[in-house]
Amino acid sequence: MNFNDSWKFYNAEANGAEQVNFNDSKWRSLNLPHDWAIEGPFDIKYNARSGGLPFHGIGWYRKSFKMDKAAKGKIVRIEFEGAMYDAYVWVNGQLVGNRPNGYIGFEFDITKFLKYDGSNNIIAVRLKPQDMSSRWYPGAGIYRSVWLKIDEPIHVKQWGSYITTPTVTKEKATIQNETTVENKTNTAVTVKVKQEYFSPEGKSVAIVDEDLKIEPNSKAISALYTVIKNPQRWDTKTPHLYNAVTTILQNGKELDSYKTRFGLRTIAFTKDGFFLNNEKVRFNGVCLHHDNGALGSAVYKRADERKLQIMKDMGTNAIRTSHNPPSREFLDLCDELGLLVLDESFDMWKMAKVENGYSVFFDQWAERDIKDMLYRDRNHPSIIMWSTGNEILEQGDKKNGWRVAKMLNDYCKEVDRTRPTTLGMNYYSNPYDNNFAQQVDIAGANYKPSNYEEIRRNYPELPFYGSETSSCTSSRGVYHLPIEKYDTHSSKHVSSYDLIGPPWAYPPDIEFHFQEKNPFVMGEFIWTGFDYLGEPTPYGGKDNSTNGQWNSDWPSRSSYFGAVDLAGFPKDRFFLYQSHWTTKPMIHLLPHWNWEGMEGKEIPVYCYTNVDEVELFINGKSKGRKVKGKDLTEIKIDFFRYEPKTFKSKYRLSWNVPYEPGTLKVVGYKEGKKVNEEVITTSGKPAKISLSVDRSKIDADGQDLAYVTIKILDKNGNFCPLADNLVTFDVKGAGEIVGVDNGSQISLESFQGKQRKAFNGMCLVILKSSKKSGIMTLKASSKSLKSAQIVIETK
C-alpha cells in the first residue's frame, strides 16, 4: 500500500517524539514525498555550496494508522525508497532500524511491533542531515515514497527477482529468472514457483514452473529459464519492455504475486566501443544531479519525465546518475524512454571531500549500500554500467587505493554478472599507474580529452569514455561583451557565448574535436545536462580543496554548468549539443538583438546548426553565407593540460556585425535547398504576458504536474529578452502551485511563493493536481502588463 498520505512533520528536535503518547497535534500535516529544505529561506548563514538552503538539522515525521485483524499472522514491512539522511525508525515506541545513506532505499520488518486490535499504531522517523555532508544540495526529509507491505510468511524477498538474458537474437531470446523466496515459518515447506512472461502488448508468451523446497526461517532461490521466439528487443529507439509475473503457490493456493519489468537486449564493451544489440552506439551523455529545481529533491515522476524528455530533445541517449543512486521512478522512465544509464553509487569512499560526507559511514555501510543499489536496479534494461565512485581521492593512494577499488568491484560482481563496472577518474596518470583504474572493467576519464590518445597508447586493451566532460558554464540569456575568457564577472552571471568555465573546463567544441579524432573513445557525459542546486562554480569556492563555506560570492547559490537552466529552459549550449548530436535539420541564433546604446558597434553573432550552410540577414540585407565545417570560428580557451589559448571550431558559425535595431535572421540550407530559418527581432517595451503549458491534461492523482512557461512580450508579440517584471500568480480549481522559478542562479526569491520576477524575459510556474477531476485555471498578472490565463484539465 502506498503510505505517503497523512503524516505529521516537525522541523526541530522533539524529545520523546518516538513514543506512542507524544502529542503531535501542533505539528504540520502533509503528504509525502517531502523536502523540507526547499521551502527555504535562502540565507547566507547556510552554505552556498549546498544551495544556501536549510537542509541540515533535525526533522521528525509521525503517522498514525490501524492494522486490519486479517493482517495478524502475516509479515508486515515498511519500505522507504529514500530518506535524507541518517534515518531512525520507530514503531509504537520501539526502534526498528537505522539507515544513514539518504540515497539508498531500505525496508524493515515491523511485524512484531504492531497492534492488530483496532487501536492506533504510530510510526516515527527522525532524520538528522549534517552540514558539510554533500558537495551539492542533497535535500532533506522523506523525499521518496514509502510503502506498507503485507505478505504471507512465504513470499518473494525484497528485490528478489533477478532476470538475465543469456541469449538475445532476432530469432529467439533465452530468459533466465532467479527468484529468491523467503519462508518465515518454523517448518520446511515446498511451494510451486510459476513464472509467466508477457510481451510489450500484454500477451502471455511463456509459462514455466518448478517445485522449490525452503527450510524453516530461511530462503531459497528458484532458477528457471525459458525461450521465446521473435523477441522485441529493447534499444534506444524502440525501448520494448516485457513483464514477468512470479506466482508462489502452496497446495494450489496463491501466496504471493510479484511483477518484474525487464528488457531483452545485449550489451558489449570492447576497446573499440560500446555495442547495443551488436550495433555500435556512442554515448551522447549527460550527468544529472537528483534535484528538480524548485521542487528540490522531492520525487515527482512527471518532473523527472520532463527533465529526461528535454534531454532527449537535445540528442541525449545516456544518463550518468551523478553521484548517487537515483529514484526508482527515474530508472523506470529511462527504461520507457530508451535512455542508457550509468548507475553511480558514491561520491567519496574513506577519504573525505567534506567533513560529514559518506566517508563517515563507508567502513560500516559501503558493502550493504552498493549491493542494495544493484539488487534494486539490476532488472532495468536501461542500466549498462555500475559506477563504484566519482573522483575518488583514493586515486592517489599508491598503497591502498586499488584495494578499496577492488573490494567494491568484487561486491558488484557478487550481485550482478551481466554488466561491467566503471569509475569516474579525474587524476592522470596516477590511477592508471597505481593499479587503481585496472580494478574496474571500463575506465571513465573526467576532463582529459587531450590525453585520450596517450591513454590508448599506454593501455591499448582498456575500454574508456569521457565520464565527465566540458564543465562549461553559462547563464541563460546573458551575453557579456567583448567576448573574453574570464574567471568570474561582477554580475555573478556567466556569458552564454559558451566558452567560460573553471580551470579544468573547456567549451564543448574541444570534446567534440578529440572524440572525433579518437573514435575508440565510447562517447561522453557532459557536466551537466541541467543546472542543479548548490556548487555555484565558478563562484564561491574550490571543489574538494575547500571544505568551508562557499559564500564569498553570495547570492550565487546554484550551478551554472547545465545546458538547461534550473527552470528547464534551454540555454544556448543546449542547441550546440543538439547541432552535434542530432540529424533532423535545426538552427539556433544568438545573442538577442536588444542592444540599445550599441548602435554601429560590432556584435558577435553565433549560429549553431547541423545543416550544410547558413546565410545571415540584418533587416533583409545579407551578411554572407557560411559553410558548416569549412568556415571556422576562433574561440578563446584556457584549461589544464592544453597549451593553445585559442581553438578554431568547425562546430559553430559566426559573424561580427554592426548593431542596428530590427530583425536578425538566419536561413539554413541543406544540399542547396532552404530547410529552416530563425528570426530574432528587437523588442519594444514589455506590454503583455504569454503563457504556455507542457500538457493541458494531467492526472487527478495529487502528484501529477503541469509546467507553465511565462514569457514577457512587447505590444507586437515580440519576446522581451531583458525583461525582469514581477509576475503574480493566482490558481483556482483542481490544483495548486508547488513551485516557481526563473532559472537565475542568484535569485533569492522563494521557490514556494505565488510570484516571481522574470529573468531575461521568462519564468515558470509548476502546478500540481488535486485528487479530484476538474479544471485548474492559472492567471498571471504584472503591473503595467496585459494579464493572461491558461486552463489545465485534471482527469
Active site residues: 391, 468
For 370, the 3-state DSSP assignment is helix
Cβ pair 266, 447 in contact under 8 A: no
What CA–CA distance (Å, rounded) separates 134 from 546?
A: 12
Strand partners, 655: 605
* Torsion sign across C-alpha atoms 326, 332, 333, 335: positive
**What secondary structure does DSSP assign to 485-525, as a single string?**
--S--TTS---TTS-B--TT---HHHHHHHHHH-TTS-EEE
What CA–CA distance (Å, rounded) separates 638 from 641?
A: 9
Task: Count, in order, helices (H) and strands (E) of the chain.
Answer: 8, 45
For 270, the enclosing helix (H) or strand (E) is strand 267-270
Cβ pair 51, 137 in contact under 8 A: yes
CA distance to 85, 138, 143, 359, 766, per residue, from 54 (Å): 14, 11, 15, 22, 22
Radius of gyration (Cα) for the chain, nearest Å? 27
Sequence-ordered alpha helix ranges (H) in 504-596: 508-517, 572-581
* Torsion sign across C-alpha atoms 66, 70, 73, 79: negative
For 376, the 3-state DSSP assignment is helix
What CA–CA distance (Å, rounded) separates 524 from 580?
A: 12
Residue 460: Cβ-neighbour burial (10 angstroms; 0-12, 13-18, 19+): exposed
Strand partners, 116: none
